[in-house]
Structure 1
Amino acid sequence: MSDIPTLRNYVAGQWLGEAAPFEVRDPGQRATILAHVVPADAALVDQAVSAAARAQKLWARVPVAERAAAVLAAADRIEAEADKGLDGLVRDVVLETGMLPAEITLEFRGAAFAARDNVEAAQVALEPQVLEDETSIVRIERRPIGVVAAIVPWNAPIVLMIRKFAPALVAGCALVVKTPPTAPIGITRLLAGLAELFPAGVINVVHGFGEAGAALSAHPLVRLVSFTGGGVAARAIMATAADTMKNVQFELGGNDAAIVLDDFDIEKQIPMLMAGAFHRSGQFCFAIKRLYVPDAIYDRVFDAMAAYLDAQKIGHPLDPATTFGPINNKGQFDFLQGLIARSRAAGAELIELGTPVDPARWDAGNYMKPVLVRDAAPGLEAVTCEQFGPVLPVLRYHDLDAVVAQANGTEYGLGSSIWTSDEGRGKALARRLDAGMTFINKNAQSRLGRRHMPFGGIKQSGIGSENAEYGLHEFTEIHAINIHKA
């Protein structure tokens, strides 16, 4: 009898599905099967959406204060999982994503923060706006949009799921969450536990690949598809969603530029700069994808980055010696290996850095060393694409205006960052960049930023926003009432 668990779809409190399962494997030890997962076909997706639609009508009538209390209780449970560390769901997510335990523990804590932040934002975002003059009263109210299909990626599954879960539920919507095929275990187990806090059918979970996503996007009872992922899938969702004129919220990829100015503090800021590019082995949407460094300090900056990366230990995330984990899935790993090969064939100088923790088992997982591309040419594929992995092209520049033009000369527009000792210079340059977000001196949101900063991109990096009142509004629709005085 196999000890490998089977993960089914969770619909209105029941575990459903009998289709042939697919495997989820440990990216650091590909021979290890973590779970057999039963995908949802169109009929099961319909069952989940129909359950959500029935539950949503009742959930929308629950007072906002009670909905908020349930989401806050969910935040407490998520934080309790963070406190358990590897004795709880953190271990599941570490094994399926390949991310380090410290990163996943912080992800659970960040998810708890996100849930609480959305409850706080709801106090403003869901409050009716009332205007009055001598002849009439206008009330602008926000009501829940309805059933939300939340399609979640593999790279930060818990926090990215909660950034859809919390605003949807506090706004009065019901959810059907589609898990990422390579990282469905932690999400499913967490959501099944959180579902106890809500009426049956408010939270539903389905698994699968394109068929399940297409069934959700096409379903007439789904009123919003909230998707985090890549542009190819987003375009397919948008085309399908058009048939029923449903709303979409997309948080997509980027080709985020980082610009170092000549007053950059090399000794102090190199660790933060490297975290901005190589955190989670470069597998996060707003990672630095291309770095522009002034000619006057280029060699010193490059050498300092190389020294920092060469100290990294690449290995299995559960090995305490590891500081740099594997690539999550074989498809992304193969893309990155191809990108490296094509860049070398194009004449680029690539420097691989770091040390394997266990060289004998290197080929058993999706392991690769972090790579710097020295003096990368602007047209190199590694500069113009979204790598989504530990490959960073470093470009030398003389003219800041030319760098701004290069930074903006892409169809992407998610994030950007500026590295300087002069706040005024940083702010002035930030205003010239075409991006949904710009960070100065750290490629991350501060605690204040996580609460108040809209998260999302422009151009082909997204539609709509997550976070704060802006993100919560995505899960509502406007109802305006005009009262004429007698």
Structure 2
Amino acid sequence: MISAEPFVSGKYLIDGNWVDAKDKTTVINPANINEVVGHVALCSEQDVQNAIESSERAYHSWKRTPLEERAECMRAAAEELKKIIEENVSLYVRENGKVLVEAKKDLLRCVDIMLQGADEIFEWSKAESLQGPQKVIVRKRPRGVAAIIMPWNSPLILTFKRVVPAILTGNTVVVKPATNCPLALMAFLHVVESHFPPGVINVVTGSGAMIGDVLCTDPRVRTVAFVGSTETGKDIIRKSASTVKKIYMELGGNDPAIILDDAILDEKAITRLRMGILKAAGQVCSAIKRIYVHESRYEEVVGKLTKEFQHIYVGNGIQPDSMMGPLNNKNQFDYVTGLIQHAKDSGANVKTVGIKLDPDTWDQGYFMLPSIVTGVNQQSEIVRAEQFGPVIPILPFKTIEEVVEMANDTEYGLRASVWTENEDLAILLADQLDAGAVFHNNHTIFQDLHLDFPGAKESGLSRETRHCGMEYFSDSYGFAN
């Protein structure tokens, strides 16, 4: 039985009030495109202006709120969120497509982000003394209104990693969720915003182009945090330049995994490889998107990974046996399908394997079995593109110099991984790879939520943090004596 639409369906949030929009569009279940999960408000330009005004008004008092009070508001909100995780897991699966295990981890991680942020704010806020010809004290302060523009693939974690440090450091926010997958995020924000003064958190939904234009050009918005495609990121940078905003961006990726000749490829290693490729059906910015294998291990890797993929059950994420859900939307499904077809037409060998959990309803959703692509080269489209789907090209290499050149031969630089038993060699390669972070014998995320390392080149802006991202939403200033 399909549950009733959530409270936030078709609404937007301004100044503490959830407004039922006149104009709406539907949010559908990617595992069953005939199912309407809820509705999303189509905000007007005036609605966005009102959200900015609300944020600006709230900022002047919120920035003066003591740290202890901010942290206590965050902790109280986190404790309440814990109570509604179970009831929102299925909502998230139905609008996003992730399997239950992955969806629940996302929701739990939001609570962790809040609690760690509430602890970290005190360490972050400490003044720093610089010794030199004169005594200089470095202090930190918030910037003002922050626009948080988020994608559909992992909307809860990515939004909370920005909203939490923004408001803890004294800013206010206007959040723009993705139209394809806003409901679980907004259900969480509904709980969180109730623990803060009206206007600290505002939420607008609808046209990304229009809302983005307003947020990026309004001088009252002092920071823009965006996660999404590199092309959209470039457009945001151009539009934000007129008012010299601070920009925090996590953009596209084409992550390489480099497997050296001494790598241990036991069952656990192959499982880690598979998870690095197929988590969220490959719809992860920092997923493995191309594998380079030393020629002496090439056939072994192709064989073992193919065998691993053969046991993947693909189906509706709400089913406990499902190991991989559908792609989130038709545009992404058509794009990945087109990439695979073009690879076939170009002479590549595409091996599609896996198990359809429910063949009778397969065509009712954006389901896709995982594919391994061989017989391609560095210039092949499927190697150079950010596939964002359950498909992985595998290429052989001969020398370290060759594979470093191939791995770096991209405009992206988000993540990379090196698979070898020689840690010194892994570090040597990491120093040569154009990536914001390099993992050894794994391709995953940072378990410590204090840490974050945005991408290099066209994969992002702003550098590493040890304070849950708080510096992205603040400025440092010096007091000289």
Which range, TM-score by smaller chain?
Answer: over 0.9
Whole-Å separation in 1 of the counterparts to 2:115 and 2:210: 34
Partner of 2:49: 46
Partner of 1:412: 412
Whole-Å separation in 2 of the counterparts to 1:266 and 1:98: 30
Partner of 1:357: 357
Aligned residue identity for 2:272: M
- Asked if 1 retains the 8 angstrom alpha-carbon contact of 2:10 and 2:21, the reply is no
Output the TM-score relative to the length of structure 1: 0.94
Aligned residue identity for 1:181: T
Whole-Å separation in 2 of the counterparts to 1:96 and 1:290: 28
Partner of 1:213: 212
- Aligned partner of residue 319 in structure 1, secondary structure: coil
- Aligned partner of residue 467 in structure 2, secondary structure: helix
Partner of 2:336: 336
Q: Which moved more, 1:2-11 or 1:185-194?
A: 2-11
- Asked if 2 retains the 8 angstrom alpha-carbon contact of 1:11 and 1:204, the reply is yes
- Asked if 1 retains the 8 angstrom alpha-carbon contact of 2:91 and 2:183, the reply is yes
Distance 1:466 1:76, change over 3 A: farther
* Ranges in structure 2 where 5+ consecutive residues have no aligned partner: none
Whole-Å separation in 2 of the counterparts to 1:443 and 1:131: 38
Structure 1, residues 247-277: CA drift from partner, whole Å, max 9, x if none? Answer: 1111011111110011111123100011111
Whole-Å separation in 2 of the counterparts to 1:313 and 1:467: 38
Partner of 2:67: 64
Partner of 1:109: 108
Distance 1:189 1:3, change over 3 A: closer
Distance 1:246 1:17, change over 3 A: farther
- Aligned partner of residue 389 in structure 1, secondary structure: coil
Distance 1:114 1:466, change over 3 A: farther
Structure 1, residues 419-476: CA drift from partner, whole Å, max 9, x if none? Answer: 112222212211111111101111113434x33x322101100001475327211100
Whole-Å separation in 2 of the counterparts to 1:188 and 1:383: 36
Whole-Å separation in 2 of the counterparts to 1:272 and 1:259: 14
- Aligned partner of residue 269 in structure 2, secondary structure: helix
- Asked if 2 retains the 8 angstrom alpha-carbon contact of 1:256 and 1:415, the reply is yes
Partner of 1:76: 79
Structure 1, residues 277-303: CA drift from partner, whole Å, max 9, x if none? Answer: 111110111000100011111111111
Whole-Å separation in 2 of the counterparts to 1:170 and 1:466: 19
Partner of 2:166: 168
Whole-Å separation in 2 of the counterparts to 1:442 and 1:355: 25
- Asked if 1 retains the 8 angstrom alpha-carbon contact of 2:413 and 2:459, the reply is yes
* Ranges in structure 1 where 5+ consecutive residues have no aligned partner: none
Name the count of aligned residue pairs. 475
- Asked if 2 retains the 8 angstrom alpha-carbon contact of 1:464 and 1:471, the reply is no
Aligned residue identity for 1:24: V
Whole-Å separation in 2 of the counterparts to 1:455 and 1:77: 30
Paired residues for 1:192-203 under 5 Å: 192-203=190-201
- Aligned partner of residue 185 in structure 2, secondary structure: helix
- Asked if 1 retains the 8 angstrom alpha-carbon contact of 2:117 and 2:468, the reply is no
Residue 194 of structure 1, CA deviation: 0.8
Whole-Å separation in 2 of the counterparts to 1:424 and 1:440: 11
Aligned residue identity for 1:160: L
Q: Which moved more, 1:240-249 or 1:179-188?
A: 240-249
- Asked if 2 retains the 8 angstrom alpha-carbon contact of 1:466 and 1:472, the reply is no
Residue 28 of structure 1, CA deviation: 0.3
Structure 1, residues 367-409: CA drift from partner, whole Å, max 9, x if none? Answer: 0011100232111101001011111000011122111001111
Q: CA RMSD in A?
A: 1.7
- Asked if 2 retains the 8 angstrom alpha-carbon contact of 1:278 and 1:390, the reply is yes
Output the TM-score relative to the length of structure 2: 0.95
Structure 1, residues 147-193: CA drift from partner, whole Å, max 9, x if none? Answer: 00001111111111110011101100001100111001011111111
Partner of 1:8: 11
Whole-Å separation in 2 of the counterparts to 1:419 and 1:78: 38
- Asked if 2 retains the 8 angstrom alpha-carbon contact of 1:370 and 1:390, the reply is yes
Whole-Å separation in 1 of the counterparts to 2:479 and 2:406: 48
Matched, 1:231 2:230: yes
Whole-Å separation in 2 of the counterparts to 1:395 and 1:408: 14
Paired residues for 1:129-140 under 5 Å: 129-131=128-130, 136-140=134-138
Residue 132 of structure 1, CA deviation: 6.0
Paired residues for 1:310-329 under 5 Å: 310-329=310-329
Residue 215 of structure 1, CA deviation: 1.3
Q: Which moved more, 1:348-357 or 1:136-145?
A: 136-145
Aligned residue identity for 2:247: V
Partner of 2:470: 472
Matched, 1:121 2:124: no
- Asked if 2 retains the 8 angstrom alpha-carbon contact of 1:149 and 1:178, the reply is yes
Whole-Å separation in 2 of the counterparts to 1:421 and 1:257: 18
- Asked if 1 retains the 8 angstrom alpha-carbon contact of 2:92 and 2:103, the reply is yes
Residue 77 of structure 1, CA deviation: 3.1
Whole-Å separation in 1 of the counterparts to 2:378 and 2:183: 40
- Asked if 1 retains the 8 angstrom alpha-carbon contact of 2:10 and 2:20, the reply is no
Partner of 1:26: 29
Partner of 2:244: 245
- Aligned partner of residue 437 in structure 2, secondary structure: coil
- Aligned partner of residue 129 in structure 2, secondary structure: strand
